[in-house]
Structure 1
Amino acid sequence: MKLSSVVVTLLLTAGVAYYVYTPLPAAIEEPLKLMLLDALFHVMLQVDYLCQSLGQSRFSVVEGAMSVLVSLGNMAGGHRGGVRVSDVDFDGIPVRVYEPPAVGGGEGGPRRAVMFYHGGGWAFGTSKKGSYDILCRQMSDELNAVVVSVEYRLAPAVHFPVQYEDCLRAAKHFLQPGVLGSLSVDPQRVAVSGDSAGGNLAAAVAQEISSDDSGVRFSVQALIYPVLQGLDFHTPSHQQNQNIPILHRYMMARFWLLYMGVDTSLSPLILSPALLHHPSVSPSVRSRINWATLLPPKHIKHYKPAAIETGPQGLKNPEVEFLPGLLDVRSSPLLAEQGVLGRTPRALIITCEYDVLRDDGLMYGRRLQDAGVKVTNVHHDDGFHGCASLTQWPFSFDVGKRVIRGYIDWLQENL
């Protein structure tokens, strides 16, 4: 073999190792598979950054590649032949409605219903294909439920509060007695649910709907590793899992900035520990995300609050353009007052140990319980962010299947 061939081989091997190898905790199953998936995301993001520099739309490449992956998932199966699927508008918002085979209710009465918001960092994703379509079909079939998945608009074409307003608008339309009646839905058995950014939207919509006594309200909220605040990127879970696939801390910061409609080059500001101590953030607000008092010791571990920076990344300028959005409870449901939380429905909150968002969910569960809400916390010690969407070939993980199984079983018992 020529020396040049050896050099090229070594360089390619080193390059692959650089993108693929990520030290992972021993508890995570099939680490190589997760490393490969994470490397794929990194490559897609790098290509996306290049496209941005050339004037192409953000996340265009990422979304295209995701479409390929979810198509593979669809080929693997998961369709429920008896579920009727229709694409309609709810007050101008596109939704996909899944109706179970037993029209009129298999138990001789009105059916359950689930309003579902998909994840994707408020910037990509769809319920019309891939894991979300499979999940909605499964819920409709196994729960004998009408499932409504909302196709809210995405960043960067729109930003906060548009995504929230789309979801709220669809929810208000769905909860009208006439609409529920036309779909044979029991108004006392309607859930709101979502994962990741969708969990954020579900929690925020649940708070708003629960504050209105004039109409039908959700009976349960089911949140899968929800993102609930963007002020503190130094919680124990952010510190512990900042480089764990598939949601790294810098990626979460980028998603927040896209949601706020500002330049993603401001990542150092949103990641700064000083953000939480900005003059605009009152002590009462800080107390609502004070993980030192809201988290159990087993999750605090040895982690401590990050030191406030005094250098150029330390928020010397009192004006931070995205801060008002982060302080809005419609984007950060964890910041809601106790009285608002106390009016929301009983909750399921699913968290994963190896997820930067773990502590958001745990703190929200604690605050809901303190407000008198019945909460079921389900924590997966071997889980990682996004695992609930990884249940089909070629990226199938047992923990993802267990998350979905427990989620549907809880809805079966509580809805």
Structure 2
Amino acid sequence: MDVYACDPAQARPRRVAEEESAFRSCFQRDRDRIIHSSAFRRLKHKTQVFVEHEGDFYRTRLTHSIEVAQVARTIANALGLNTDLTEAVALAHDLGHTPFGHTGEDALHLLMAPYGGFDHNAQTLRIVTSLERHYAEFDGLNLTWDTLEGIAKHNGPLLPLAPGKALPLALAEYNAHHDLELDTHASGEAQVAALADDVAYNNHDLQDGLRAGLFTEAEIADLPLIAPAYAEVDRLYPGLEPIRRRHEALRRVFGYMVSDVIDTSRARITAAAPASADAIRRLGHPVIAFSDPMWRDLKQIREFLFTRMYRAPSVVVIREKVTTALLELFPLYMADPSLLPERWQAAEAAREGEVPLARLVADYVAGMTDRYALQQHARLTGKDILHDRA
């Protein structure tokens, strides 16, 4: 590792002191606790774009997180950063997502607007610091400061706030007791996890959209990055069968993005010459980035995907239905907390007031898988909302 990498021997303390492992570094231990958490397992049945019942081949939050971690390790290793911390942040980055992806998050944010709103990144922090309750000596996973910092601000500093903005409540509450230095950038490792997320979803959304028939290869043929990838495959493997041709082309698109991040970031690190991990945090700008030409190319691809995939008529119909399911579920639990499972009822009994109840209900609903949310909606309302049956 280089001098600007996060060194596990120099990691800042966990909030609750505990004896470290004799066989694993503190960052490896963080990664392992994330993998073994209940929230991580539930990602198996939380979707990216498609609802879980629509097919076994589409990405879920779990497969996406694994792909992000693989990309992140590759980039971190190439740049001399700590791969274990990078992987821990990458694996944790989506733990706070609701059922039904960003559609579910939008619905919960609307429902929670009177109570401080809802933000999936803050919810991830809430999960790993409080909601996972398996250990005898602490709530949450008791991760290192470095991993928590990466989870909180891998997309950049959160302070100072823009006019009219407020920190997500869960993040503000935690930071008041354990300062994550929200006014600086995160470590290089966390920055890598953020860019690896972009690489992974740009690649797999193209794959999933093609598989779903939302667009064809002919319709993406003129998009940047994609055209040269198909041209190279056709030159090397003329007459290749369609499925192999598609895979070979899209893996090249994937490679273009990874190589660009490595080359651009290496140059930025060299120019900045950071002497420590903290020096990266205090540079005032990220060191992990795409090149400007790559950003422009990816912007075109994302604009295409927004129109043809995320706002495709068939996807919009399902988005509307699952939004209705969450909008109807939340007030049922608010009106009658006895509908919650016994463990959650016990937590509700220990709270006072409407805001804590709303937070409790949001925690419960946000933790649901796609399938479980639809099952609970059907059980409590008597409606099969996906098939318009009462």
Task: Indicate whether the TM-score tops 0.5.
Answer: no
TM-score class, shorter-chain normalisation, is under 0.3
- Structure ranking higher on relative contact order (CA contacts 8 Å, 6+ apart): 2
- TM-score when normalising by structure 2: 0.27
Instruction: Indicate the structure with greater strand content.
Output: 1
For normalisation by structure 1, the TM-score amounts to 0.25
